[in-house]
Structure 1
Amino acid sequence: MQRKTSRRNLWIALSLLLIGQTSDPGYAQKNVQRNVTPAGVWDLRGVDEVDGEETTFLATLVLRKSKQGGFEGHCDWLGSSGSCGREHVRCQFDAGTREIKLVGTKLEQVTGGLALGNYRARVSEDGQRLEEGAWSGEIAVPGEWSAKRIRVR
């Protein structure tokens, strides 16, 4: 009788351990690679510097799948220097490295010194952030940026 009770208690303990691990909401994220994509709406923050003076930029980046492949969208910029406007972008995404490359194609409603840019960043493993971002361009001042996905509930 003692041996049956011990085995039963062992099975119960193992079952509870397994149930506890798999019912953890983070368990699936930790153990399964999610299919990440840059498509969506992003809250972007960046900074560049000219002659020791920093300009902070806030933007909303909207990306959607393109009919031609890749992604396309726009970025609505607002700089601490007063510059603002909309930049249309094309985006390529490497799912293996999670790297995105954006190219500005057209500016609209520009006030101040916005310029078309080239951008790169990496989509985080959970798909909720754009990290290690940098921008440059022919006449654009090089800068750094990051973004977080805006979740609509």
Structure 2
Amino acid sequence: MHNLTKVMQYTIKVGLLCVGLLLAIHVNALEFRSVAINKAVLYDAPSTEAKKVYVIASGYPVEVIVNLGEWIKIRDHFGSLSWIQGKQLSPKRMALIVNDKAELKQAEAEDAALLATFEKDVVVELVSGPKSGWVKVKHRDGLTGFIRSNALWGI
């Protein structure tokens, strides 16, 4: 009976540890959004009275760090932190080309047909992925295909 109690205690501890790890993974999941308006002002604090630090263009992807509802603390692909009004962000997923060049392929394979080559800092819409190192994206001109995930930021 004593050994059975120890086994039950051990099982409960392991179960709680697993639940805790799953919660930690969920909490640490990255959340990305994109800028919804043409010229959004970024601030150094959550107030329109704070210092203006940058103006950011529509469609630009950002990582959500803190969400206060009306104000959201974000990180850009350089790692800079700033605040933006929550209403100026969209849940639409966009990604930024961070390599000097990124090839848009017809399929998820290196030997797939080349559809286009994009330069660094081009913004594309995230359609799906990442899957097997590839992300399906759509360019603003309507061209859709696959780009290597390591060429993108915001996924």
Q: TM-score, structure 1 length as denominator? A: 0.35
TM-score (norm: length of structure 2): 0.35
Structure with higher strand content: 1
